[in-house]
Amino acid sequence: MTQHTTPQRLMTGAEIFVRSLIEENVEIVFGYPGGAVIGIYDALHDISDIKHILTRHEQGAVHAAEGYAKATGKPGIALVTSGPGATNTVTGIADAYLDSIPLIVFTGQVSLKLIGNDAFQEADIVGITRPITKHNYLVRDVNELASTIKEAFYVATTGRPGPVLVDLPKDVMASKTQFSYPQTVKMRSYQPHAEGHQKQLTKAIELIAKAKRPVLYVGGGTILSNASEELKKFAHKTCIPVTTTLHGLGSFPENDELSLGMLGMHGTWYSNTAVHYSDLLIAVGARFDDRVTGNTETFAPEAKKIHIDIDPSNISKNVKVDVPIVGDVKKILQQLLPSVTTLETKDWLQTIKNWKEEHPLRYKNGKYIRMQHVIRKISEITNGNAVIVSDVGQHQMWTAQFFKYILPRTHLTSGGLGTMGFSLPAAMGAAFGRKDLPVVSLSGDGGIQMNIQELATIREHNVPVKIIILNNGYLGMVRQWQQLFWRKRYSHVEMSSPDFVKLADAYDIPGFRATLTNEVDDVLEKVFSTTGPVLAEFRVVKEDNVYPMIPAGQSYNEIMDVPEKELEGLENESTEELELMTVTKG
């Protein structure tokens, strides 16, 4: 007797796309529809497995996907149309590339036969993004769609994570074939290496055993590798103090006695000093960025250097190291842990303790609000149990200094690219991914206005983001540099703003404002007791500077600590001028 099998239904590329995302356990997609992806949006219409969030701008969609990825460790997904929809994603893709964020951006494209003909809403997004993606694809055959999506997820999330772009021509999405999703990926040209080479591990263990003044210099790769527990065990077993980069914040609890806080241009005085005088520097998932090293010729001059990193191209790229170990941070720390011993660092730790007492982070409170005070209060209220998403500028550095991070994936910011407008959409994305902690967006008056349209998305979905605007009426970091290095020629950095509280009301979001230091506690109490989204503006002193500061390209011995005159000089600075600069007074 002959058995007959029912042939599998042919699916369009759009249907295959959606099914592929379901196979990858995608929970949420941030996107914006258009003509080139209308078939995909039609296929999404009846799907309950995936939540689609309609952002108000494609840049907002990518930053939201970044925030989701950073906060959860899962890949972030963005879906946009062709032409301007695709080009609007470029800043977010570049941001994710420099910060090693797993992201898959799907862009619509005109039909294959129209590519290169200057068709309506055509842009060569594959060519445009080639330098800022880990890899990108133009899908030319519907039969290759499922395997391409599988590869895209694999490339984005393995090795050193990063953004991958998949360009989807409209006619390919309309074509039909049978759906078959691959279970594994084999790429001859891409084989990330996880475990460290035994010979290099042995060399590292020998150097560690001899060290008298060691420092662990920890970067964002430690968080990306989910290696925080291994890092804590390693630091406590060896008694080695820990300093972190901007992206490394949260990888090691800052309430631990071994914590030195952040190092680099605006790092703590004592962390930079400890690195300068160390005899062994163990770089863990860090890349010796110029904001950390300053002058590379004089960076940690007495130290032997061990460098642990998943990306071999990072090794000795900026600073020559003595022992390179290529592999996954978590795996390598697990390999090292059984063989390292407790070091005699008692005198070294006492010296560092003395430095901490002599050169603490400090500011002076007065009648008028300082950003540092607001950030420290948020840290105290949350006890470090919050996801903090800072924008870019002075407040970003003060957030890194004065919020005490105790958990991984709770400090989100734009580091490598320094993208203003990052915080609000990224905080929204983080809040979709993290229900266990409050999510706080911290922005200056400049950065908040770059993606402020996402207030509509936040309101529509009742996303419980606590939106903090620190308003000094300046592009503060640029003004600081103009003051310190450009003879106080304040060129085009003073800016007016709308009434942010009234603007919040227009979006049906509760809004509050504080203009004096004694109002800060009351406003923050309202912020954290309000259910759902809430916005608070703090009118802060206009001309305040971030210290410590190592000027760009200079060395530790040129570090600028807080001048005493600045501690005194801000006492009487009024916010009346800032009030006059507001377009519509509250």
Find how far residue 60's CA is from the centre of its chain: 14
Mapped onto helix, strand or coil, the DSSP state of residue 415 is coil
Which runs of consecutive H residues, i.e. helices, occur in 306-465? 329-336, 346-358, 371-382, 394-402, 423-433, 455-460
pLDDT one-digit tens code per residue, 57-73: 999 999 999 999 999 99
CB atoms inside a 10 Å sphere around CB 483 = 15
CB atoms inside a 10 Å sphere around CB 534 = 20
pLDDT one-digit tens code per residue, 502-551: 999 999 999 999 999 999 999 999 999 999 999 999 999 999 999 999 99
Active site residue 170: yes
Longest Cα separation, the chain: 97
Strands 304-309 and 76-80: unpaired
pLDDT one-digit tens code per residue, 461-491: 999 999 999 999 999 899 999 999 999 999 9
**Which residue among 24, 58, 230, 454 is the active-site one?**
58
The 280-284 sheet, strands edge to edge: 259-262, 242-244, 214-218, 280-284, 304-309, 323-326
Query: How high does pLDDT run on average in the chain?
Result: 94
pLDDT at 174: 98
How sure is the predictor about 569, in pLDDT bands with cuts at 50, 70 and 90? Answer: low
Q: Is the pLDDT of residue 157 over 60?
A: yes
Cα 234 to Cα 254, 349, 374, 522, distances in angstroms: 16, 16, 34, 42
Active site residue 477: yes
**Which residue among 23, 27, 74, 121 is the active-site one?**
121
pLDDT one-digit tens code per residue, 439-452: 999 999 999 999 99
All structural domains of the chain: 11-177 (3.40.50.970), 198-358 (3.40.50.1220), 371-581 (3.40.50.970)
Task: Give the whole-angstrom CA distance, residue 30 versus residue 61.
Answer: 5
Active site residue 121: yes
How sure is the predictor about 579, in pLDDT bands with cuts at 50, 70 and 90? Answer: very low
pLDDT one-digit tens code per residue, 411-421: 999 999 999 99
pLDDT one-digit tens code per residue, 206-263: 999 999 999 999 999 999 999 999 999 999 999 999 999 999 999 999 999 999 999 9
**Which residue among 51, 120, 558, 579 is the active-site one?**
120
**Both tokens of residue 443?**
């922005």
Task: Give the whole-angstrom CA distance, residue 84 versus residue 567.
Answer: 48
pLDDT at 301: 94
How sure is the predictor about 373, in pLDDT bands with cuts at 50, 70 and 90? Answer: very high
Mapped onto helix, strand or coil, the DSSP state of residue 449 is helix
Strands 28-32 and 76-80: parallel
pLDDT at 584: 33
Task: Give the whole-angstrom CA distance, residue 185 versus residue 51.
Answer: 26
**Which residue among 11, 265, 371, 477 is the active-site one?**
477
Q: Is the pLDDT of residue 573 over 70?
A: no
